[in-house]
Amino acid sequence: MITARILSSSRTKRTHRVQTSHGRTGNKAASRGTGRVRGPDHRRQQHELHGFSLGELAADADRIWQHGVIRAGMSRAQRLLDVIQLLRSHRRPVAAGRLAEELGVSLRTIYRDIETLKGQGAHIDGEAGIGYVLRPGFMLPPLMFSEEEIEALVLGGRWVAAQPDEPLGKAARNALAKIAAVLPDDLQRSLETSSLMVARRDPAAGDTELPVIRAAIRTERKLRITYCDERDNRTHRTIWPIALGFFDSVRMVAAWCENRDDFRHFRTDRILSITLTERRYPRRRTDLLQEWKQQEGMSES
């Protein structure tokens, strides 16, 4: 197995260093006291790393990382996965300098890693001096999470599950259960025994409308609502909901309002009645969302 080869290589290198300390072997690096001996095992290890498939890199890095025995060889396997993850988190080209800074390595190392990943089938576009971007559709097979990422997933899932939106809460619990089912045993225990707690929120006005609003956003369908503003003025409106904001005490719908011919915000606790129509709004929600963000001064991430 790949894991066994790398661990074996690490043990060989460690034995070689011990022999050097006893004076039975040595080279220029050892004579300088650097403690690094670069022999045939080192070259073979580099060759094996270049021969990994992305799936093998992920699977073996995951197993070794989970058990806390990352060796010198696997540190590069983990770094290659980190490069992929960083590229996946950006929609625009990322400069090699930024990648190097994030991972704490040199520019030369990043350029070499990019070429290695391309050779293993990763669809990475770009070049030195411009930046790199990972084409949409590339998936990394195994689920790999750090302890911090596990805690973020647990906290987020438990927060959603504690909200009065029962369908969304059930979906959050199911999602956490599915993630737990495919995690290694030690991380599964971390997820199931997490001490991060969320207080359950009591239902409030406007909560019953949330599933209907979410359905309208997903399907790009118009809503007819009766709305009561802060002055107790009631109006009947047809809106195209594009986003739903969750604040500490209120929920807010961002929508295009046909009555005002502009974007408007509606608190869900002031919606007196709501009807999901069969009519789709005539523009793509993603385009409307981008326009709304620009109008609100939100930066694109």
Shared fold status for 2-134 and 207-295: no
pLDDT score at 270: 93
CATH fold of 207-295: SH3 type barrels. (2.30.30)
As given in the structure block, the two tokens for residue 189 are 């225990």
CATH numeric code, 2-134: 1.10.10.10
What's the pTM value of the predicted model, to 2 decimals? Answer: 0.52
* Percent composition of the chain: helix, strand, coil (DSSP 3-state, to 5): 50, 20, 30
| Placement of tokens 């109008």 in the chain | 295
Mean pLDDT per 10-residue segment, the chain (301 residues) = 36 38 40 42 41 51 42 60 82 87 88 86 84 73 70 89 85 86 76 81 74 94 95 95 88 95 94 95 93 85 51
CB-based burial, 16-41: b 16+ in 10 Å, e otherwise: beeebeeeeeeeeebeeeeeebeeeb
- What are the extents of the domains in the chain? 2-134, 147-192, 207-295
Please tell me the predicted confidence (pLDDT) of residue 139. 56
**Adjacent-strand bridge partners of 239:** 223, 257
Return the structure tokens found at 14: 């460690």
Q: What is the DSSP string of 231-242?
A: T--EEEEEEEEE
Predicted pLDDT at 144:
66
Q: First CA to last CA across the chain, in angstroms? A: 40
Residue 206: left (phi > 0), alpha (psi -120 to 50), or beta? left
Which of 222, 214, 219, 215 lies closest to 281 in space, CA to CA? 222
The reported pLDDT for the residue numbered 291 is: 94
Q: How many degrees, rounded to 5, is the angle at CA 236 between CA 232 and CA 239?
A: 115
Residues 6+ apart with CB under 8 A from 281: 220, 221, 222, 240, 256, 288
pLDDT score recorded for residue 223: 97
